[in-house]
Amino acid sequence: MSSPPCQGIFLWARGGVWYDAAVKETVIVKAGREKSLALRHPWILSGAIDGVRGNPGTGALVRVADRKGNTLGWGFYNPASTIPVRLVAWGNAPLQADFWKRALRRAIKGRELLERDPDLTAYRLVYSESDGLPGLIVDRYGDFLVLQTLNPGMEELKAAIAEFLMETLPARGIVEKNDGQSRRREGLPQRVGLLIGEPPPESIEILENGLRFLVDPLRGQKTGFYLDQRENRDLAARYAGGKKVLDAFSYTGGFSVYCARAGAAALIRADASRDALARGQRNLSLNGLSRVPDNPIRDNVFQLLRTFRDAGRRFDMIILDPPKLAATVAQREKAARGYKDINLLALKLLSPGGILVTFSCSGGIDAAAFERILSWAAKDARRTVQVLHRLHQGPDHPVRLSFPEAAYLKGLLCRVW
């Protein structure tokens, strides 16, 4: 049962306690700039703001209106951000008193299939704007949840949300991994540690498609594991039987462990992080896959691929999963050169009929641009490249039609002649 709407009042929280707060401030949108809101896009950029009524604090929930005073929606306010308003609701209906809990429940319900999968204990429970909760990331790792709050509004709600999740879900403890660049851009401090419940062990053992991985949320990258690649690892492994596989940017061996289970003849894992490589080794042995020849190499992949080229090395399958090379459209050119460089080198290293699995997680480069970059690389490498699969982030990282910006991960699985 949902509570009745409360006129001019919405649910807010401080220090873990929910309360009714009155909306006092309004952000006015310039004439002509309401269109994206009508399409339910969640961002209002500073250039679209006509003015502000009242004096909303950083992180306040504001009403968004047009110049005539019509309410267009509700959103988090942060004047210091390049995106000063992030909408949480559209239209003129006031927020329901249980608005946040409903949004959280819906996000959780959307992961039911994953939750029921006995071979899976790690997945994303809440994915920010895609779940109508801008700036909130919640990842499940077995009995523990890892939470990120990426704007001041969501930061205010953090404690109350953590408490609600503890009540609603089976979870032993929730930690925050609030150390990313995006928080810095929003003027928020870096914070990593326990929020509520039991502290997790240093390494949490998770199950992904029946494979075991050790995840260390507080010290690892992102929230500890690249959950967005789950389906792609599974698919790539189907091509790995009998192959000599170069897993470039391997992190803790996600792709390698899948390929080893699928019968890869040999693994060459390359990453800049010694720690990630060591964890990869542990993940292989945790799955009883230590017998597969495995050669971890700590190096800069951009350099290593050149060394391999000069040495005339050949591989049957290459996975390229680099970190984000372009966070923004402005860094696109430089990133495009980086992607072309590594893909060109990888294409040269593949034996005829070999498989290239290549990714970009850069928001600034869309799928069409990425495919274009690969076609330039193919031309320069003088190789014929057939796309067998177009890849993207898994279904626990959904993309709302009204917010295509959420589709950051794109990839191609190709056969190379």
Q: Which residues contact ligand SAH (rule: CB under 6 A)? A: 221, 226, 229, 249-252, 254-255, 271-273, 276, 300-302, 321, 323
CB of 323 to ligand SAH, least distance (A): 4
If the CB atoms of residues 11 and 344 are measured against ligand SAH, the closer one turns out to be 344
Q: How near is the Cβ of 53 to ligand SAH at its closest, in Å? A: 45
Q: Which residue is nearest to ligand SAH (CB)?
A: 254
- Joined together, the tokens standing for residue 212 give 């075991």
User: Which residue number, 59 or 338, has a Cβ lying nearer to ligand SAH?
Assistant: 338
Residue closer to ligand SAH by CB (options 139, 186) is: 139
Nearer to ligand SAH, 89 or 137 (CB): 137
Q: Give the span between the Cα atoms of 27 and 222, in whole angstroms.
A: 33
Judge whether 174 and 165 are in contact, CB under 8 Å: yes
Who's near 393: CB < 8 A, 6+ residues apart?
228, 229, 399, 407, 408, 409
Does residue 414 carry a catalytic annotation? no
DSSP-derived letter for residue 46 is: G
Residue whose structure tokens are 């294409």 = 347
Choosing from 6, 259, 361, 414, the catalytic residue is: 361
Minimum distance between the CB of residue 193 and ligand SAH, rounded to whole angstroms?
Answer: 23
CB of 288 to ligand SAH, least distance (A): 20
Measure the N-to-C terminal CA separation of the chain; round to a whole number of Å. Answer: 60
CA distances for 379 relative to 57, 204, 330, angstroms: 54, 45, 26
Nearer to ligand SAH, 271 or 366 (CB): 271
What CA–CA distance (Å, rounded) separates 176 from 43? Answer: 25
Distance (Å, whole) CA 63 – CA 298: 51
- DSSP bridge partners of 266: 244
**Smallest separation, CB 51 to ligand SAH (Å):** 43
Q: Tell me the catalytic residues.
A: 361
